[in-house]
Amino acid sequence: MNQRTQPPLSRKQRAEQRKAEIVAVATELFARGGYRGTALADVAARAGITQPGLLHHFGSKEGLLLAVIEQRDADSEAYAMEVLGQDAGLRLPSIPDFARRNRGKPGLAKLFTVLVAESLEPDSPGHEHFVERYRALRAIVAAMIASAQKDGRVRAGIDPKLKAAEILATLDGLQTQWLLDPDEVDIARSAEAYAQILERDLRG
């Protein structure tokens, strides 16, 4: 039986493949030691590339960090689209799905938590990214709540912006507690319980 041979990768494809491999290594190391606690030399050695070679692909350590953040966000957005589809409505039952996804990928969950903590100072490389990310998330959730209020599915007395901030803060807090003490905190069950409480609160 003849097997078709795959055409050789182009130079651009090989470069993209190599960059993806380096980002995967950096993701693991940043999650473990943080951005500040991980040297470029560590990433290069683990990826089997020289430090100048790594800098050729990303320009700087900050450039590598942004590539890691972008990849993490792309994975999260793809999962959100898979769970929610094109429905922009308020999908409270989906909250536990995101928690279960994080439980299945603790490395990505830890990476996010570590990088947010390291990005609190305005001069941190990831600061602006996370500020804009949370602004966008709050706006999306607030718009969902406001739309549901118009349809009569959410009571009128709720401030969509304040409730959006509360929802995101609760989910982030549950994730942090789970990462710190996974034997005591079941993130999926906690998210399920919160979704039920939230639904009763929103509907009044």
- Tens of pLDDT, residue by residue over 99-152, are 888 888 888 889 999 999 999 999 999 999 999 999 988 998 898 899 889 989
Structure tokens at 22: 């380096």
Q: Say yes or no to pLDDT of 2 above 70.
A: no
Residue-wise DSSP of the chain: ---PPPPPPPHHHHHHHHHHHHHHHHHHHHHHHTTTT--HHHHHHHHT--HHHHHHHHSSHHHHHHHHHHHHHHHHHHHHHHHHTT--S--GGGHHHHHHHHHH-HHHHHHHHHHHHHT-STTSTTHHHHHHHHHHHHHHHHHHHHHHHHTTSS-TT--HHHHHHHHHHHHHHHHHHHHH-TTT--HHHHHHHHHHHHHHHHH-
pLDDT for position 137 = 87
Written as one letter, the residue type at 66 is L
CA 18 remoteness from chain centre: 22
Cβ partners under 8 Å of residue 172, min gap 6:
113, 116
Q: What domains lie within the chain, and their CATH numbers?
A: 10-69 (1.10.10.60), 87-204 (1.10.357)
At 1, the pLDDT band (50, 70, 90 cuts) reads very low
> Average of pLDDT values for 160-187?
95
The Cα diameter of the chain in Å comes to 69
Written as one letter, the residue type at 43 is V
- Percent of residues, the chain, with pLDDT higher than 70: 89
Cβ partners under 8 Å of residue 54, min gap 6:
22, 40, 43, 44, 47, 64
CA distances (Å), 164 to each of 38, 50, 62, 143, in order? Answer: 34, 45, 30, 9
Q: How far is Cα 114 from Cα 58, in angstroms, rounded to an integer? A: 21
At 91, the pLDDT band (50, 70, 90 cuts) reads low
pLDDT for position 193 = 94
Q: How far is Cα 26 from Cα 37, in angstroms, rounded to an integer? A: 12
